[in-house]
Each structure stands twice: as C-alpha cells, then as structure tokens.
Amino acid sequence: MNEVTTQGRNARRWFIASLLVIVSDQLSKWYIVESFVYRQRVEVNAFLDITRLHNTGAAFSLLADMGGWQRWFFVALALAVSVLIAVWIMRLRVPQNRTLAAGLALILGGAVGNLIDRLVHGYVVDFIHAHYNDAYWPAFNVADSAITVGAVLLVIDTLLDARRQPKPPEST
C-alpha cells in the first residue's frame, strides 16, 4: 500500500473522531435547548451545575458585548482554523503522530461544533457550570472540552517530540 493511501485511510479515522465530537456536542446542546429555559440551573453536586447559557463571544465570553460583528468574525475564524487543521490531519504520518492527530481531531470537532451553534443560533450554547462555593468558572460545553483536551494533547506531543529529537554532540 502506498503512503498516500495510508495517509488517506488514517485521516478518515481522525475525521470520524472529529465527527463523533461534533455529534456528541450537538446532541448535548439539543437536549439542553429542548429541556432548559435560558439561565435555568440544576444542581448536580456541590461543584457542578447544569445551566443553559448563551455565549456570543469567545472563550470566557471574550468580545461578547461588541454589537454582533463578533459572530461573523468567529465564524470566519472557525472556518479558517478548521480548514487548516483538516489539511494538517491529511498530511500527518500516522502512527508516528497519533498524539498530535488525536489533539487535532478533538480541536477540529470542537471548533465545528461551536461553529454550528454560531451559524444556527448566533451564539454558542454553554451548560456545564463548575464552581466552588460562590466562585464560578465560566460555563462551557462538550466542544469546549474537546478543544481543551486537544490543546493539552498538542502540548504533550510537542514535549514528547522534543525528547525524541537527537541531542547535538557536546563540544569539548
């Protein structure tokens, strides 16, 4: 089997992983939208609530109150990043880069999941709301979690790659 065929087959596997993230993200958001009214909160335990919230900005509601232009900015950004990541995945040599491929697949799935929300609703549906007493972390969703785990995998891959690189000979 030639290298191009192998790369294509491996890329499909990672695109399927991205698709699983997108489907689980959209199904969870669909459930929240159908089952909760805006700002409705259900306590899960002492540290976690399920709260339907809408985020018109980026992470931590960055640029949320900017008059609406940010929606299209984030749509364009997500599209550009998604295309770049898809091309990157297609060019990877797997299995040598499994950690990198997994990270990219998670980021791609999360980016597309939130992109769908922006296109359909004009905002991202967030609902996982962690807290400690009265200190609340910004709400997030399955797509945000996938992006975060994917970013951690990219850092791990970078650290592992640095360890695999041969060290230059010491001069005496």
Cβ proximity of 160 and 99 under 8 Å: yes
pLDDT in tens, the chain (172 residues): 455 555 667 899 999 999 999 999 999 999 999 999 999 999 999 999 999 999 986 665 555 555 566 778 889 999 999 999 999 999 997 667 899 999 999 999 999 999 999 999 999 999 999 999 889 999 999 999 999 999 999 999 999 887 776 667 776 6
Order of strands, sheet of 124-132, starting from the edge strand that comes earlier in the sequence: 41-45, 48-55, 124-132, 135-136
- Report, as residue numbers or ranges, the catalytic residues: 126, 144
| Burial of 5: CB neighbours in 10 Å, binned 0-12, 13-18, 19+ | exposed
Give residue-wise pLDDT tens across range 89-104: 999 976 678 999 999 9
Give residue-wise pLDDT tens across range 16-30: 999 999 999 999 999
